Amino acid sequence: MNAREPNIDFSVSVGSSASSERTRSAIALCASFIGMDRSWQAARTRSRQTGPMGFTRGELEGFRDRAIPEFMPRHPRLVFVGINPGLWTAATGVPFARPGNRFYPALVEAGIVPRLPVIDDDGMPEADRRMFFDAGIGITSIVQRATARADELTRDELREGARRLTTEIEELSPKAVAIVGVTAYRVGFDRPKAIVGRQPDGLGGAQLWVLPNPSGLNAHDTVASLAAAYAEPARAAGVLA
């Protein structure tokens, strides 16, 4: 909604002392509005230099190479697997935290969770974490080291991460696993011809899907197409009817 503009009378009666005073007042008021506009423009410039959650670029760089706390219920039914934490994720401790990532909107669109979680500088509120855990949904990643982009990871890191992930899934025993990132899956699990969808080989005793990455860099998918893809393992896990 637009702010209501003040009703200012700029009419002047030439030759009257009152009109001169009104002119000076009007000029002062205009100058005040110009100053406010310049302040707003300066604030916009500052906001372009910080992350949408209040982190500067330099602060985000300080989270490079970090891991994040576990985001996993005791007995998960469905585990989503990202490639590795981004810097926003490392800064907040929340998977898929980068503004513009479509992971959570796709889950809501699919009906996997009822609402979008809150993510801010302090992470995700406990009530929103419980929303995932009570539904039996966990989130992890192939590689735990945070980078600005997934293509900064080495082939050895992806392969080592794939072995670690297999062991983790064996211990957790979910019904279904969904890896969101087909290229990382092909490299890490040595499946160069793998395609998106359910995989003939499971993972650690669970049914396995490899699905599109929700990053905004993936221009081939929309929230609707991601939601349709993510709904498949959710149904298999009994999270979605």
Query: What architecture does CATH give domain 64-237?
Result: 3-Layer(aba) Sandwich (3.40)
Residue 46 φ then ψ, to 5°: -65, -40
What's the pLDDT at 216? Answer: 85
Q: Where are the domains of the chain?
A: 14-48, 64-237
Q: Which amino acid is at 164?
A: R
Helical pair 223-237 and 103-110, crossing angle rounded to 10 deg: 60
203 secondary structure, DSSP code: B
pLDDT at 24 over 80: no
pLDDT at 79 over 80: yes
What is the four-CA torsion angle of 101, 107, 109, 112, rounded to 10 degrees?
Answer: -170
Predicted model pTM: 0.78
In this prediction, residues 170-190 reach a mean pLDDT of 98
Locate tokens 């980068």: which residue?
98
Lowest mean pLDDT among 50-59, 81-90, 121-130: 50-59
What is the four-CA torsion angle of 147, 150, 153, 157, rounded to 10 degrees?
Answer: 100
pLDDT at 32 over 90: no
What's the pLDDT at 54? Answer: 80
- Model confidence pLDDT, tens digit, residues 185-205: 999 999 999 999 999 999 999
Residue 210 · residue 199 · CB < 8 Å = yes
pLDDT at 22 over 70: no
What's the pLDDT at 21? Answer: 52
Residue 123 φ then ψ, to 5°: 100, -140
Tell me the C-alpha distance between 61 and 168, whole Å: 28
What's the pLDDT at 7? Answer: 42
Tell me the C-alpha distance between 40 and 42, whole Å: 5
User: What percent of the chain shows pLDDT beyond 90?
Assistant: 75
Q: Which amino acid is at 157?
A: E
- Model confidence pLDDT, tens digit, residues 43-75: 333 333 334 478 899 999 999 999 999 999 999
What's the pLDDT at 241? Answer: 85
In this prediction, residues 215-220 reach a mean pLDDT of 86
pLDDT at 42 over 50: no
Please state, rounded to an integer, the average pLDDT across all residues of the chain.
84
